[in-house]
Structure 1
């Protein structure tokens, strides 16, 4: 997780170290969020990172602690622990695990000559993984009935299409699959003509998996970086129950991932 000292501005607890008003800043921020190397953080390193941030929060940081150490500690904590419950998120459901654990599902969805049974299986597995990621990273500041998540899960599985209420979230979910669906077939059509895949046809699936992994790794940070994480909306455009809950003319919202 090494980077040059110039990449680390003065530390701000709970903030991003990259400019969130630009696409480039958001792209670098989300590259940090999905960094799969954080999956291998040891328990001792996690505890050390959490303690370093607690000391900073209470003004008890040791002398010599650098901004880089604080930013890296925050990256580890945000990648592993839920911000509301402070509990560890299971590896497959962390944002840093979304690509490593999601790529096999993407490969399964793109396999040729599928039967109805295999299509249903991969769609079910895909929506189940997405539902678990959403639940594991949910807003837990207020208790939410489990029935709400179950109904959402059933709706996602039966439709296999996620319809977002906000245009930004909708655009993100539209853009995300495009490179995953378009790039692998194009790249594989070229690779399958090479001597190595002609001589060793059993390598087609491993090559296909690597291509899908690369496409997924490229598409995810690009898609979720299109719009700022926090945006403003006029209350007149919101649902009636939200309008009546505030006298403000506009409110800020987190677009989610």
Structure 2
């Protein structure tokens, strides 16, 4: 009787979907503000396992712990989603989780931008080090948040990593050389250009298996239709746009503010405040930019059947599936 009462009480709750509607941008933004909450990084293994157990118990229609509330279920779901891959169900490495985006990026991007205010930014080692650090982090994030259960060979991972790092370093060095005689504000945007170009290399390379073998596409009800390379292309483009969008506020707003401060006496009197202020400003930007840019495209993206490969369209017709669109997890 108690079990039946619980099921009736939470019959309207569907933990397989976000709490908010993903049909509109506002709902997706609310969802990702929760998913990317940096406080989730502080959760212990016990906290995550407890969340996983509660979510699994609920999905299996098993009796819930006494006193469980609807808020407890949603809290557990988002804790679980913050640490476990949506397709493989494996626990993700902490540095690759979306909840680690703000603390990790604010440190790396803040320091990368801060070097622009020091003599060290004119040296090759400084540029190489910070671009290497940033691309190492990006490689971890891109691999961790790839779409589906897509194993990559060590060779492919190392090739992707080397290409992205080389591209970022080459861009940064070239732009540094070009902007030495330009206004200081122009030079402060060199890191953004380097990061944007590296994202255009790193994400497709790290997810290159999806481009060659496709990603899983399904019907609206979750029935697997097949593997589509065209869907993979769309997913990777969407993720690349989102990632570049995430970087823009943290690499545009702080430089403008710091450029203004550099003309005053504060940083001249307290030069050691440069890096902390940069990191803080970048962090403040990322707290909002990360979820807002993740929400640009639905996590469960879609595309018309007519945009699929001809062989997939033929297979759908032969199977008698009366569908006009297919769906796929675009990754993050």
Name the TM-score, length of structure 2 as normaliser: 0.66
The number of equivalent residue pairs is: 250
Please give the alpha-carbon distance, in whole angstroms, between the structure 2 residues aligned to 1:143 and 1:171: 24
Alignment of 1:42-191 (within 5 A): 42-59=44-61, 60-110=63-113, 111-112=115-116, 113=119, 114=121, 115-139=123-147, 141=149, 143-160=151-168, 161=197, 162-163=199-200, 165-166=233-234, 167-191=237-261
CA displacement, residues 64-123 of structure 1 (integer Å, 9 cap, x when unaligned): 311100010111111123344544323222111111112221123222141222212221
Please give the alpha-carbon distance, in whole angstroms, between the structure 2 residues aligned to 1:103 and 1:230: 28
Is 1:24 matched up with 2:26? Answer: yes
Answer with 1 or 2: which has the greater Rg: 2
Structure (1 or 2) with the greater helix fraction: 2
CA displacement, residues 223-248 of structure 1 (integer Å, 9 cap, x when unaligned): 22112222222344345676666546
Please give the alpha-carbon distance, in whole angstroms, between the structure 2 residues aligned to 1:215 and 1:65: 36
Please give the alpha-carbon distance, in whole angstroms, between the structure 1 residues aligned to 2:148 and 2:304: 25
Residue of 11, 14, 17 corresponding to 2:16: 14
Which shifted more, 74-83 or 134-143? 134-143
Contact 2:110 2:280 in 1 (8 A): no
Is 1:216 matched up with 2:282? Answer: no
Task: Quote how far apart the aligned CAs of 1:29 are.
Answer: 0.9
Name the TM-score, length of structure 1 as normaliser: 0.83
Residue 4 of structure 1 is matched in structure 2 by none
Task: Quote how far apart the aligned CAs of 1:213 are.
Answer: 1.3
**Secondary structure in structure 1 of the residue aligned to 2:301:** strand
Contact 1:179 1:216 in 2 (8 A): yes
CA displacement, residues 194-224 of structure 1 (integer Å, 9 cap, x when unaligned): 6654542321221121111112222222222
TM-aligned CA distance change 1:254 to 1:48, over 3 Å: closer
Residue 3 of structure 1 is matched in structure 2 by none
Residue 331 of structure 2 is matched in structure 1 by 256
**Secondary structure in structure 1 of the residue aligned to 2:248:** helix
**Secondary structure in structure 2 of the residue aligned to 1:15:** coil
TM-aligned CA distance change 1:239 to 1:174, over 3 Å: farther
